[in-house]
A and B are shown apart, each in its own frame.
Chain A
Amino acid sequence: MEIKEQVRFDPYVPPKLGDNIVDSIVGWGRKYSIFMYPFVTACCGMEYMSVASSHYDIDRFGAGLPRFSPRMADVLMVVGTVNHKLAPILKRIYDQMCEPKWVISFGACASVGGPYDNYAVLQGIDRIIPVDIYIPGCPPRPEAVLDGLMKLHKKIQNQKHELF
């Protein structure tokens, strides 16, 4: 119990009583060292660039370094329209990522197909891969993205972490 008192390191997600101490510590470490794979396909990419650069600065949330190889990344950020032609590629990238992995669906297109309900566009990436956080908006404001990121932090902090 004494150790539990000492791990009150997180300002906005304090460990709850009865949390697994290992999960809390690993979750804390993982949520502040997010390596994102930006799967940028369309106009939402502009907003991703805005949130990634100095004005909004996702580095404050520990997600500052994009990795352009799925093997090095642990958060797949799907930014923009995904059509049926691209769907197998997205699935393959998801499959190539190592566990633990999370998926953020950025914008209306990635979440539900957005304005495009037609023959070409996949109506939401959750048809083919599991999604953890949906960020709504066309495109979402950078604040909304940061909010989504904080929700992902919460999720990582509170989930179970398989170490071996």
Chain B
Amino acid sequence: MTNEELQIKFKERFPDFAESCIIDKGHIVAEIPLEHMELTLTTLKDDSEFDFKMYMDFTVVDWMERKPRFDLVYHLYSVEKNHRIRIKVGITESQSAPTMSGLWPVADWHEREMFDLYGVKFSGHPNLKRILLYDSFKGHPLRKDYPVTKRQPRIESTFPTRDSQYQEKDLKIHRGD
């Protein structure tokens, strides 16, 4: 299915989110509110018209001062029909997103990674704990407010710490708006 056909189909199927469904640089992007996310993704996977059986990627964007602060970004692909879609879901720090690990088992580790690096919580996840960093790590390093120069070594260094090349005040965070 081409992007245009898919966009029309998406708009018919989900008239509530039709406005947010755009084609951005050859890729369909749709924004969906958190409370409708589970149902929408389930439909996208199970409906034979969409047939998004493959969970390509999942990531999070931290917008720091925007409300809601984070964007969950899902990339889905249909092997049968050869089309893709990107779903964005805004979420605040205190909310928790429904886990997708029941639909796509691979989402389990993706969600653990995003919990590890961004501190986004997922309700219903079977094993939500750190996957990349060590358990004694404090904080979530890919959040924009994590200090760039902060280090959390597990062994006391026997060597004086080198001054980091970057000073925090020089760091400019790119923001879209």
Q: A residues touching B (Cβ–Cβ < 8 Å)? A: 84-85, 87-88, 91, 112, 117-120, 122-124, 126-128
Q: Is the CB of A128 within 8 A of B134?
A: no
CA–CA, A119 and B161, complex, Å = 13
Q: Is the CB of B146 within 8 A of A84?
A: no
Q: Which residues of B contact A123 (CB under 8 A)?
A: 151, 161-162
Q: Is the CB of B154 within 8 A of A117?
A: no
B110-147 contact mask (Cβ, 8 Å, vs A): 1 or 0 = 00000000000000000000001110000001000010
Quick check: is B152 within 8 A (CB to CB) of the other chain?
yes
Q: Is the CB of B157 within 8 A of A120?
A: no
Q: Is the CB of A117 within 8 A of B152?
A: no
Shortest distance between the CB of A11 and any CB in chain B (Å): 36
Q: Is the CB of A120 within 8 A of B154?
A: no
Q: Taking each of B150, B153, B158, which has the highest tally of chain A beta carbons within 10 Å of its own beta carbon? A: B153
CA–CA, A128 and B133, complex, Å = 19
Contact of A122 among B132, B148, B153, B158 (CB under 8 A): B153
- Beyond A119-B141, A119-B146, A124-B159, whether A84 also contacts B154 by CB under 8 A is yes
Q: Is the CB of A128 within 8 A of B152?
A: no
Quick check: is B171 within 8 A (CB to CB) of the other chain?
no
Q: Is the CB of A128 within 8 A of B146?
A: no
Tell me if A's interface is mostly helix, strand, loop or mixed: loop
Q: Is the CB of B154 within 8 A of A88?
A: yes
Contact of B153 among A84, A112, A126 (CB under 8 A): A84
Shortest distance between the CB of A16 and any CB in chain B (Å): 32
Tell me if B's interface is mostly helix, strand, loop or mixed: loop
Contact of A126 among B159, B165, B166 (CB under 8 A): B159
Quick check: is B164 within 8 A (CB to CB) of the other chain?
yes
Shortest distance between the CB of B71 and any CB in chain A (Å): 22
Q: Is the CB of A119 within 8 A of B150?
A: yes
CA–CA, A124 and B166, complex, Å = 18
Shortest distance between the CB of B174 and any CB in chain A (Å): 17
- 11 example contacts (A-B, Cβ-Cβ < 8 A) are as follows A84-B134, A85-B132, A88-B155, A117-B164, A117-B165, A118-B148, A119-B151, A122-B153, A123-B151, A123-B162, A127-B153
Closest 8 CB pairs of A and B: A127-B157, A119-B141, A127-B159, A85-B134, A128-B155, A87-B155, A84-B153, A88-B154
Q: Which residues of B contact A120 (CB under 8 A)?
A: 133, 141
CA–CA, A122 and B156, complex, Å = 11
Q: Which residues of A contact B132 (CB under 8 A)?
A: 85
Known contacts A84-B151, A117-B165, then 13 further A-B pairs from the complex at CB < 8 Å, ordered by chain A residue: A84-B153, A87-B155, A88-B154, A88-B155, A118-B148, A119-B141, A119-B152, A123-B162, A124-B159, A126-B159, A127-B155, A127-B159, A128-B158
CA–CA, A14 and B132, complex, Å = 50
Q: Which residues of B contact A84 (CB under 8 A)?
A: 134, 151-154
Q: Is the CB of B158 within 8 A of A127?
A: yes
Q: Which residues of B contact A128 (CB under 8 A)?
A: 155, 157-158
Q: Which residues of A contact B165 (CB under 8 A)?
A: 117
Q: Which residues of A contact B162 (CB under 8 A)?
A: 112, 123
Contact of B155 among A91, A112, A118, A126 (CB under 8 A): A91
